[in-house]
Structure 1
Amino acid sequence: MKTVKVHFLGAASTVTGSKFYLETPELNLMIDCGMFQGLKELRLLNWEPLPIDTSKIDFVLLTHGHLDHTGYLPRLAKGGFKGSIIGTAPTLAISEIILLDSAKIHEEEAERATKEKYGKHDPALPFYTVKEAEKAIDLFRFEKKEVWIQLSENIRFKFRFNGHIIGATFIELEIFGKVFVFSGDIGRTKDVLLAPPKRPKWADYLFMESTYGNKLHPKEDMEEILTTLIHKTINERGNLIIPSFAVERLQSLMYRLWKLYKQNKIPNIPIFIDSPMGTNVLSVFEQFPDWHKLSGKEYYAMRNHFKIISSYADTWKTIDDPRPKIVIAGSGMVTGGRVLTYLKQLIDIPTTTVLMVGYQAEGTRGRQLLEGAHELKLFGKYYPVKAKIRHVESLSAHADQQELLLWTKDIENIPEEVFLIHGEPLALDTFRVKLRDVHGWQVTIPKLNNVREFVI
């Protein structure tokens, strides 16, 4: 008999900070290594030392490159981890972009907080630096999807295509003959850029995300919504600001807007892409054409249609540009990035429309805007919200409840146990009941820092 321990170090009873540590007789693994985002009480957890010895971790396996799945890697390396960080090639390319961008933002925010004295510490400390991010990136090692990779005599894993964002996978981890499946973030069945997710066929222990475990995405006509908003922006001589996640959401928005222009549904309104990270992610689409649906011809035609901003000086030129325009800028939950500069200048103007295009976690500025906040705190100061706020959920890169159930449809056995992770409390409990009713599965909702022991 062998014992495997799983430590739920993140994304347990919350939707961020994915981190799962596995102790086995042969080696120690971590599945994902993300930062907590959103509520202050969650963000403060990032600064707490992990309740494990990080120097004893042999491998980190990444499901995909998003910050809430990779953002803690520099801290892990700083804390003594010297093993390999393994992901698919596009996942590691995305992770490198995100970590370096995040590190730069951490450094800039610490510098600004010190200068303007709105932080609690003097001098303010960045969560990690660019040098610390580079130290983690040096540990990257890529592996192909759909191929078993042997880690030790009795432990192997396989990355399996999962939609969501370019490079994303779920992980089938076989330990002494038992299959542990970690879903990562599950993508949509119908995505404009990505193929549908693969599905697991066997899972002795299933660790499954439930971001939208209690919801069905609305059947919105995105063409109609975008067309109407753009014509309204032109008529009012206003600004349409779209805070966007740099990975996948930005590229899918570009594709949709380009198609609308090609179909003569919108005029040639200036569209600015102000997301250095998002622009870098575009190059990943160019580098890995087998991971998405765009042909080379479509990719270059689409890219050339937009005005891509590279410098912060051009950000200010864009703000001062009096023409009606569309600006797509990071970040998607309005937690940082270039979009804050636009909102600081334009959020108090009634002809501004802010279009939210994805999930907004508790405690983020994006959630505040959706809930009708009359003012927004930016760079330590409050600004009145007079802009119109719109929200569309159908662009989400996360599967909804129906798609999550479909993802479980091909599992041939009855899992010994199912753990629901990466969800807010209502979504977790709703999906727990749904899985019990549909499959008759035993479902557990772990809490942060729970440890579960398996005898196999």
Structure 2
Amino acid sequence: GDIGRPHDPVMRAPVTIEEVDYLVTESTYGNRLHDTNDPQPQIGKVINQTIKQGGSIIIPAFAIGRAQSLLFYIYQLKKTGVIPNIPVFLDSPMAVNATNILCAHKNDHQLNDEQCKRLCDVATYVNTPDESKKLDVQSMPKIIISASGMAEGGRILYHLKAYAPDPKSTILFTGFQAAGTRGARIIKGEKEIKIHGQFVPVRAHVEVISSTSAHADYQELLEWLSKFTKPPKRIFITHGEPESALSLKNKITEKLGWNCVIPQYQQTEVLN
């Protein structure tokens, strides 16, 4: 039920659908609106401030979609001279594969050939665990984009262990952080986080840029739904915290008068 957003820098806008029998939709931001500011200048500002301090920028990122958008922003920032030619590392096997797939299917996104090539070339791809570990002993300022996006697993945990204690460095979050995840706890301001059984102090700067989200907010979802020429028999609202799902259900009911269901775990529905 992930609809997408109308102004993504890489992916095309959601296709308009006029009629379906049943619809499954997400509700990640069912009770919120996105920041409308362009994220690119904000990312550039964070990078430059961190470089000036002699630190590194550590970005937990979702491997598919978010990592590629970040590479595009960084390419644009370098191209326009907003940031210096700082080393960039993409340290996620899945993100590397997804980026290669993006460049192999140039008709399925909105980047032209030149943009796609530059996006793919802007970062050094980190393939092996040994290559990943070497990043954490290198002292020069750099940007590391790594998964998982909520810091719940993956190679990002090793980078957080290395750089979270460094007051010169910055942890930059650009995606939704579910309640209870390490990412959410870091954003909340916890002074130490547990990684691999050890408590790691968080002395690095923590920055959050919310306008990069690939999930539509409730306004964008309502605009997309309003283009249907015939209401679905039922809408199943998924992929959201309980309060977000309920808020979206109420908004759809109030504005469109459609029949909405928030499925519960193992709930069965009959489609006819």
Aligned equivalents of 1:238 and 1:344: distance in 2?
15
* CA-to-aligned-CA distance 1:281-334 (integer Å, 9 cap, x gap): 111112211111122332222322322222222222222221111111111111
Aligned equivalents of 2:123 and 2:263: distance in 1?
45
Aligned equivalents of 2:46 and 2:62: distance in 1?
20
1:413 and 2:230 correspond? yes
Aligned equivalents of 2:174 and 2:128: distance in 1?
25
Cα offset for 1:345?
A: 1.4
In structure 2, the residue matched to 1:150 is: none
In structure 2, the residue matched to 1:313 is: 130
1:356-375 correspondence runs (5 A): 356-375=173-192
Say which of 300, 305, 315 aligns to 2:117. Answer: 300
In structure 1, the residue matched to 2:265 is: 448
Cα offset for 1:237?
A: 0.3
* CA-to-aligned-CA distance 1:71-103 (integer Å, 9 cap, x gap): xxxxxxxxxxxxxxxxxxxxxxxxxxxxxxxxx
1:235-250 correspondence runs (5 A): 235-250=52-67
Aligned equivalents of 1:417 and 1:254: distance in 2?
39
Aligned equivalents of 1:275 and 1:419: distance in 2?
33
Aligned equivalents of 2:200 and 2:254: distance in 1?
47
- What residue ranges of structure 1 are gaps of 5+ in the alignment? 1-183
Flag the structure with larger Rg. Answer: 1
If each structure's strand is expressed as a fraction of its own residues, which one has the higher value?
1
Cα offset for 1:419?
A: 2.3
Inter-CA distance 200–305: structure 2 relative to 1 (3 Å threshold): closer
Say which of 212, 229, 245 aligns to 2:46. Answer: 229
Aligned equivalents of 1:207 and 1:294: distance in 2?
29
Q: Superposition RMSD on alpha carbons, in Å?
A: 1.5
Cα offset for 1:257?
A: 0.5
Say which of 395, 398, 402 aligns to 2:219. Answer: 402
Note if contact 2:35-2:211 (Cα within 8 Å) is conserved in structure 1: yes
* CA-to-aligned-CA distance 1:363-388 (integer Å, 9 cap, x gap): 22111112222211111111111111
In structure 1, the residue matched to 2:155 is: 338
Aligned equivalents of 2:159 and 2:262: distance in 1?
40
In structure 2, the residue matched to 1:190 is: 7
Cα offset for 1:262?
A: 0.6
Letter in 1 for 2:88: I
* CA-to-aligned-CA distance 1:4-60 (integer Å, 9 cap, x gap): xxxxxxxxxxxxxxxxxxxxxxxxxxxxxxxxxxxxxxxxxxxxxxxxxxxxxxxxx
Note if contact 2:4-2:215 (Cα within 8 Å) is conserved in structure 1: yes
In structure 2, the residue matched to 1:49 is: none
1:431 and 2:248 correspond? yes
Aligned equivalents of 1:419 and 1:300: distance in 2?
39
Cα offset for 1:399?
A: 0.8
In structure 2, the residue matched to 1:75 is: none
Letter in 1 for 2:64: V
Cα offset for 1:424?
A: 0.8
* CA-to-aligned-CA distance 1:385-436 (integer Å, 9 cap, x gap): 1111111111111111111111211222233332211111111111111111
* CA-to-aligned-CA distance 1:120-151 (integer Å, 9 cap, x gap): xxxxxxxxxxxxxxxxxxxxxxxxxxxxxxxx
Residue 247 of structure 1 aligns to a residue whose secondary structure is: coil
Letter in 1 for 2:17: P
Letter in 2 for 1:442: N
Aligned equivalents of 1:270 and 1:416: distance in 2?
52
In structure 2, the residue matched to 1:202 is: 19
In structure 2, the residue matched to 1:181 is: none
1:241-260 correspondence runs (5 A): 241-260=58-77
Aligned equivalents of 1:264 and 1:232: distance in 2?
15
Q: Give the structure, 1 or 2, with the largest relative contact order (CA under 8 Å, sep 6 or more).
A: 2
Aligned equivalents of 2:145 and 2:248: distance in 1?
33
1:39-78 correspondence runs (5 A): none
Give the count of matched residue pairs: 272
Inter-CA distance 351–205: structure 2 relative to 1 (3 Å threshold): same
Q: Which stretch of the first structure deviates more once superposed, 277-286 or 199-208?
A: 199-208
Cα offset for 1:196?
A: 0.7
Aligned equivalents of 1:242 and 1:262: distance in 2?
20
Normalising by structure 1, we get a TM-score of: 0.58
Aligned equivalents of 1:207 and 1:280: distance in 2?
28
Note if contact 2:93-2:127 (Cα within 8 Å) is conserved in structure 1: yes
Cα offset for 1:279?
A: 0.9
1:262 and 2:79 correspond? yes
Say which of 399, 402, 422 aligns to 2:239. Answer: 422
Normalising by structure 2, we get a TM-score of: 0.95
Letter in 1 for 2:124: K
Aligned equivalents of 2:75 and 2:220: distance in 1?
27
- What residue ranges of structure 2 are gaps of 5+ in the alignment? none
* CA-to-aligned-CA distance 1:131-187 (integer Å, 9 cap, x gap): xxxxxxxxxxxxxxxxxxxxxxxxxxxxxxxxxxxxxxxxxxxxxxxxxxxxx2010
Note if contact 2:50-2:57 (Cα within 8 Å) is conserved in structure 1: yes
Amino-acid identity (%): 37
Note if contact 2:103-2:120 (Cα within 8 Å) is conserved in structure 1: no
